[in-house]
Amino acid sequence: MADSTWAWLQSFYRSFCDGEWEHTNGCRIESLNNPGWVFEFDTFGTPLANTKFKTVTKNSINDPDGWIDLRRQDTMIQGACGPEDLTELVQHFRDWAEANLERIADIEGDRVT
């Protein structure tokens, strides 16, 4: 059975914690007052640091059907979403990360976390 989105995020974050990376990089999730969520994951120091990311958008802010905006700013993957869209936003991040780690592993000839 595949990991839940949240179990995957915990494991993914932990895979980069080496005693140094997590002190200046990492993952952040906070609530917004409009309402909604903010998500950030800093890929600096990971195999994904220089990997292209296609912006993901769904609807506009405060759309009753939910909304998502997920994009890259330098090494930071940054997103915001409606109050019931956080799992979907993190799943978009997961899909991108897994696809690119698989591609990197194929290029390097071995498996990356």
Q: What is the pLDDT of residues 60-69, one digit of tens each?
A: 987 888 999 9
pLDDT tens by residue, 45-62: 999 999 999 999 999 987
Instruction: Indicate left, alpha or beta for 45 from its phi (over 0: left) and psi (-120 to 50: alpha).
Output: left
Specify the residue for token string 């696809």. Answer: 99
Task: Give the per-residue pLDDT at 108.
Answer: 60
SS3 content of the chain, % helix, strand, coil (to 5): 35, 25, 40
Instruction: Indicate left, alpha or beta for 56 from its phi (over 0: left) and psi (-120 to 50: alpha).
Output: beta
- pTM value is 0.87
pLDDT tens by residue, 74-95: 999 999 999 999 999 999 999 9
From residue 67, give the alpha-carbon distance in Å to each of 38, 47, 63: 12, 29, 6
Tell me the C-alpha distance between 11 and 95, whole Å: 15
Structure tokens at 108: 């390097």
The whole-chain average pLDDT of the chain stands at 90
Structure tokens at 103: 């591609």
